[in-house]
Chain A
């Protein structure tokens, strides 16, 4: 199967601080990117998405930045809360590559009180 990453990197953040989660994607032709949050025992939950013709998109307490030059995607969480503790996945999609979401390996975020 297709997979990116075997071990989950972990980001420890103090409650109230901002978090930045990074993702390097593989296909320079990708048209669409999305961030998911997965809490223990649950399926991934949509956070925010961005199309390739945008550089930045903001949601509630979250911002996604896209740098197509270096194929880099980031998720910024403002004022991180204990409920933000989870595994975060980025995913990309390209019509030409079969029109399926390809997920990155994930980053675990631990929020310290």
Chain B
């Protein structure tokens, strides 16, 4: 069974540009989460989508946004890129969780974004 897949694996952008990252959850999982992991740091929660709706959002500016499609795949969009946006962006999925406590998340390998 395929795990969580993310694309692209690596991306290089310049300041001010916009980027879209994509994630496909494990089959049967309807919840998708996005985390940012800057070099040498822990995982910072970005967004949580469940059954097509945004359920929770981390402390990030509005230029970080996303959406979830009817097939439960998801996109993360970052506008007006800044140097400090350089990080590994991780997507994770789980079974439906907006009515139950989030437990085990399954992570993809991430998209490494470099902003020059």
Contacts and interface: CB of A to CB of B under 8 A. Distances in A.
Q: How large is the interface on B (under 10, 10 to 19, 20 to 34, 35 or more residues)?
A: 20 to 34
Contacts, number: 80
B25 interface: no
Given A1-B59, A7-B40, A100-B56, A46 B106 contact: yes
A4 B36 CA distance: 13
A21 B90 CA distance: 23
B80 interface: no
A2 B44 contact: yes
| Max count, chain B CB within 10 A of own CB: residue among A3, A31, A46, A95 | A3
Contact of A6 (B41, B97, B110): B41
B101 A1 contact: no
Nearest to A4: B42
A39 to B, nearest CB: 10
Residue in B42, B103, B104, B110 whose Cβ sees the most chain A Cβ within 10 Å: B42
B105 interface: yes
Contacts of B44: 1-3, 103
A59 interface: no
28 contacts: A1-B45, A1-B60, A3-B44, A5-B41, A5-B42, A6-B40, A31-B101, A32-B102, A34-B104, A36-B107, A41-B109, A42-B109, A43-B4, A43-B108, A44-B90, A44-B107, A45-B107, A93-B101, A93-B102, A95-B101, A99-B97, A100-B33, A100-B48, A100-B58, A101-B102, A103-B42, A104-B42, A105-B41
